[in-house]
Structure 1
Amino acid sequence: MGGVTVTDAPSAQWVPQDGAGRLAETAQGKCFTSDLSVDEFILVRESGFVPLGLVMGTSMYHLGLQYAGWKQSVELTTLSQAMYAARELAIERMVAEAVQLSADGIVGVDLRRVGYVGAGEVLEFLAVGTAVRFEKAPGSLRAPSGKPFSSDLSGRDFFKLLRYGWAPTGLVMGSCVYHIAHQSIRQTLRQAGQNVEIPQYTQAIYSARELAMKRMQDEGERDGAAGIVGVRVEENNQVWGEHGVEFFAMGTGVRSVAATTTSTLPLVVPV
């Protein structure tokens, strides 16, 4: 079995030797692989796209240190940038594999975060999806950048999007890691036994969410998207404890195109 020797940090376009061999076989028209369900596979085909094979990208990231004052509610910019960069590397490497298959896009993308026991400062981000090609006019529905688009929409949503004249431009995201100020002992005693809002938590969490959403929206505009669909916002404080929280926003940027199919959505009856 082949391997890879890494002397420097791999680039965003880096594909390991073993992966390159698998992709070369897939590009030759051998049996494709896909993480699509049967229903999703049929609907992607109905949309005019041919599945080419599974593509993936990964990034193992060590998070640095950043300190904030005990009474400060403030963004931890070093950590925000690290969490974004780690995810971006995983997605870009997945797209690099799709380029090797001459794909027009990637559908059904799953972006996962994997933590390791006893190593809270080390995280892995893994992006997996199915590379596809537009059968009627290969290359015509790629992202405005000329690279394959990426989308986390289901096969059903992908079909409906194209049916009504919209196409993905790519995954867009925003991240914000925020430190929430501690309460003073006096505040804690004053609130004991009462139902009362904790204002520093409310304000900090609201600010963190807004920053993540704004960054996702700005990225969509830079990528040429007219809008973003399927947005989800996730909260995580497993790494930093109760006074450190990350908000992560992600969705699929879309633009208006000519409809690729006139088919109606098939009725899928469960067995």
Structure 2
Amino acid sequence: MRRWDGHGLPPGAEARLDRFSPSGPKTSLLSVPGAVGAEIAGFTPLGEVMGCVVHQVGFAEATVWAADRIKVLADLLRQGYATALDRLAEEAAGMGADGVLGIELKTSSPDGEIQEYVALGTAVRAATRQRPGRLFTTHLPGPDVGKLMQAGWVPARIAIGVCGRAFTDPWEQPLVMRGWDNTEIRMATELATAVRSAARAEFAREIGGCGADGGIVSDVSFRLWPVHDVAVAAIATVTGTAIARFHEGPAAPTRALKILPLNRS
């Protein structure tokens, strides 16, 4: 067996593509409502797809300032998700898909020294003659994509904004005064606001960079922690789907049937 050089899909992903058959059985990560919604939107599920990458979490010297270490962690997060999504899209394209629905992004670190980034979704193909010009990726399930398209919008791709920073007190005063009354930590509040704002700004730039007209946020994660009691660090991530307007259609339905009538002719 040849050793993988890191380019293209890993051997395991290539093996999944080799086993894929357009006329064979299909697997899907979509729920029953999600699969029905995808069909209503004009997409046929082809199979589940995955992209993953495992990174080493590097250790910085103790003399490196906290802000530099946090920037490395933020860059790792950004790069990990981007690589996982690229490999997911490459596998879906190998199936002849037009897009990937219901994408979930996951991270795991069993020992703190390595970090795995995983993107999971269901590849779909347009059932109509008019097909998307390029493969799209979205966290949205089938019913939401159907509502978007009825309203004249189409998903473009997953967009992610990440920011990691650290602030330090030049006077080296303890951040937490044990036993004192409740009081605001102004430096931490300033950092939390700045990091969230910067992550949202990067999310907006990602949307504009792919030519989309807007974005739907699916998740906002945030973590803040003290560093040696004289600094505070934070990382924020904004994840969602960039969407583009393709025609001025009717408004999307705001209500959905809870019971499917069986007397339709």
TM normalised by structure 1 equals 0.82
Deviation at 1:73, TM superposition (A): 6.3
Q: State how far apart, in whole Å, the 1-side matches of 2:83 and 2:45 are.
A: 23
Q: State how far apart, in whole Å, the 2-side matches of 1:186 and 1:63 are.
A: 28
Matches within 5 A, 1:74-93: 76-93=70-87
Q: State how far apart, in whole Å, the 2-side matches of 1:89 and 1:62 are.
A: 14
Deviation at 1:79, TM superposition (A): 2.5
| Partner residue of 1:253 out of 242, 248, 263 | 242
Instruction: State the match for 2:127 in structure 1.
Output: 135
- Residue 165 of structure 2 aligns to a residue whose secondary structure is strand
Matches within 5 A, 1:166-181: 166-181=153-168
- Residue 254 of structure 1 aligns to a residue whose secondary structure is strand
After superposition, the Cα gap between the structure-2 partners of 1:81 and 1:47, relative to the gap in structure 1 and judged at 3 Å, is same
TM normalised by structure 2 equals 0.83
| Aligned residue-pair number | 255
Q: State how far apart, in whole Å, the 1-side matches of 2:67 and 2:76 are.
A: 19
Q: State how far apart, in whole Å, the 2-side matches of 1:260 and 1:4 are.
A: 52
Q: State how far apart, in whole Å, the 2-side matches of 1:24 and 1:260 are.
A: 40
8 Å CA contact 1:174, 1:212 repeated in 2 = yes
After superposition, the Cα gap between the structure-2 partners of 1:95 and 1:66, relative to the gap in structure 1 and judged at 3 Å, is same
Instruction: State the match for 1:164 in structure 2.
Output: 151
Matches within 5 A, 1:2-13: 5-6=3-4, 8=5, 10-11=6-7
Instruction: State the match for 2:263 in structure 1.
Output: none
8 Å CA contact 1:165, 1:257 repeated in 2 = yes
- Residue 168 of structure 2 aligns to a residue whose secondary structure is coil
Question: Sequence identity of aligned pairs in percent?
Answer: 25
8 Å CA contact 1:66, 1:78 repeated in 2 = no
Between stretches 192-201 and 245-254, larger displacement belongs to: 192-201
Deviation at 1:187, TM superposition (A): 6.5
Q: State how far apart, in whole Å, the 2-side matches of 1:248 and 1:221 are.
A: 18
After superposition, the Cα gap between the structure-2 partners of 1:4 and 1:196, relative to the gap in structure 1 and judged at 3 Å, is farther
Matches within 5 A, 1:21-40: 21-40=15-34
* 1:130-185 CA distance string (max 9 Å, x none): 011111135x324xxx3x11000122211211111110110000111222436844
- Residue 147 of structure 2 aligns to a residue whose secondary structure is helix
After superposition, the Cα gap between the structure-2 partners of 1:179 and 1:256, relative to the gap in structure 1 and judged at 3 Å, is same
Deviation at 1:229, TM superposition (A): 0.8
8 Å CA contact 1:75, 1:176 repeated in 2 = no
Instruction: State the match for 2:118 in structure 1.
Output: 126
| Partner residue of 1:219 out of 206, 209, 213 | 206
Matches within 5 A, 1:166-205: 166-181=153-168, 184-185=172-173, 188-189=176-177, 192-205=179-192
Give the counterpart letter for 1:247 in structure 2: A
Matches within 5 A, 1:26-65: 26-65=20-59
After superposition, the Cα gap between the structure-2 partners of 1:209 and 1:43, relative to the gap in structure 1 and judged at 3 Å, is same
C-alpha RMSD of matched pairs (Å): 3.2
Unaligned runs of 5+ in 2: 261-265
Q: State how far apart, in whole Å, the 2-side matches of 1:56 and 1:15 are.
A: 10
* 1:32-63 CA distance string (max 9 Å, x none): 11100001100100011111111110010112
- Residue 89 of structure 1 aligns to a residue whose secondary structure is helix
- Residue 86 of structure 2 aligns to a residue whose secondary structure is helix
- Residue 5 of structure 1 aligns to a residue whose secondary structure is coil
After superposition, the Cα gap between the structure-2 partners of 1:241 and 1:159, relative to the gap in structure 1 and judged at 3 Å, is farther
8 Å CA contact 2:100, 2:136 repeated in 1 = yes
* 1:223-264 CA distance string (max 9 Å, x none): 0110001342112469x9994332111110000124899996
Instruction: Determine whether 1:108 maps to 2:102.
Output: yes
Deviation at 1:94, TM superposition (A): 0.1
